[in-house]
Amino acid sequence: MPNGQNGHAQGQGQGQGPEQGESPGQGEARAREQAREQAPAGGGETAGGQWYPPEWPDRIRALADGSLTPVAPKRAATVMLLRDTPDGPAVHMLRRRASMAFAGGAYAYPGGGVDPRDDDHLVGWAGPDLESWAALLGTDTASAQALVCAAVRETFEEAGVLLAGPTADTVVGDTTGEDWEADRQALVAREISFADFLDRRGLLLRSDLLGAWARWITPEFEPRRYDTWFFVAALPEGQRTRNASTEADRTVWTRPADAADGYDKGELLMMPPTISTLRSLEPYGTAAEALAAAAGRDLEPVLAQASLESGELVLSWPGHDEFTKRVRLGRGTV
């Protein structure tokens, strides 16, 4: 399919794309405006068009004075799915619906929270053993399995791509068809566990097809928090993505540099973990190069710091100075 205009998306967006006559950049600007219109009343705007909820100042103040106890973050996993193109690797991204309460209109990767059954010891497994994954992720073996399992399961649930095969050196070549879709929907509804799904189809989870890339934790003042591990993987030969997520209105394949350029121009909305990991993919010429680089990645968690200083809300991410934001608050807020 033809490349998107302005270089922001390679191929045709799936789901709701730009309106007729719009360039992708114009379509994203329209989506961004819709997200702004649906932002909570009373919120302020940060650099790059990102909105903060109006309750943030009070929650940050409460955290500072000890009256707010941080919510324990839930474990989550997300996958940067890559495929090679003549111009370098492209990454699969989805756009969250503008109506979503959190990060509406923002681009992200397939992913989600850990299912309590993701650490089922009956999961068919291939690739590095659980002890190796636990050492890499800095967790116990049960948590390591749950995170890797969640990454593979969520990629299938949200993108229709399955990192599994009948043997330790093969991978499923096609996940289309009514029977696959029925299984995917059963997983989404939590009617079956991922272990049951793999066992019924005689498949092994191919953990060797994943590379651990980064770890970000939602700030302590947020009411909903996630401890998210980012993984990288290559699109298996013969498989194709589709927009299977109910939380997304569009999916695209885009070169990391092009998506980052769209973010810099204010055309694409992304949260700091997304744009940070996106930029980190830019140096690699192929998906295989990125996967090979995963072994040397720093998995120290990134946790945002927040403070209220002289009428400003200050957000900073240690080691990521580009995301430091100072938002002037309304009179009487501090």
Which whole number is the average pLDDT over 184-210?
A: 96
Residue 118 falls within a domain, yes or no? yes
Mean pLDDT confidence for 52-59: 79
Distance CA 285, CA 301 (A): 26
Confidence of residue 102 (pLDDT cuts 50, 70, 90): low
> How confident is the model over 88-115, as a mean pLDDT?
85
What is the per-residue pLDDT for 2?
Answer: 27
Residue 114 maps to a domain: yes
CATH (domain of 95)? 3.90.79.10
**Predicted local confidence at residue 277, as pLDDT:** 97
The model's confidence at residue 101, banded by pLDDT at 50, 70 and 90, is low
Please report the pLDDT score of residue 213 as a whole number. 98
232 in any annotated domain: yes
Q: Per the domain annotation, does 267 fall within a domain?
A: no
Mean pLDDT of the chain: 83
In a domain, 183, yes or no: yes
- pLDDT at residue 328 in the model: 76
User: Percentage of the chain surpassing pLDDT 70?
Assistant: 80
For 241-289, the pLDDT digits (tens) are: 987 667 778 899 999 999 999 999 989 989 999 999 999 999 999 999 9
Query: Is 50 exceeded by the pLDDT of residue 7?
Result: no
Higher pLDDT, 19 or 290: 290
Residues sharing a CB contact under 8 Å with residue 100, sequence separation 6 or more, in sequence order: 247
Range of the domain at 119: 72-210+223-253
Q: Which residue(s) pair with 312 in the sheet? A: 309, 328
Q: What is the pTM of this model?
A: 0.83
Q: Is 288 among the domain residues?
A: no
Q: What is the mean pLDDT of the segment spanning 40-45?
A: 40
Spatial separation of the C-alpha atoms in residues 108 and 272, rounded to whole Å: 10
Contacts of residues 82-86 at CB distance under 8 Å and 24 or more positions apart, as own/partner, are 82/232, 82/233, 82/234, 82/235, 82/281, 82/287, 82/290, 82/291, 83/234, 83/235, 83/253, 83/287, 84/234, 84/286, 84/287, 85/10, 85/253, 85/255
Examine residue 107 and state whether it is found in any structural domain, yes or no: yes
Task: Indicate the number of domains in the chain.
Answer: 1
> CB–CB of 211/296 below 8 Å?
no
Asked whether residue 132 is domain-assigned, the answer is: yes
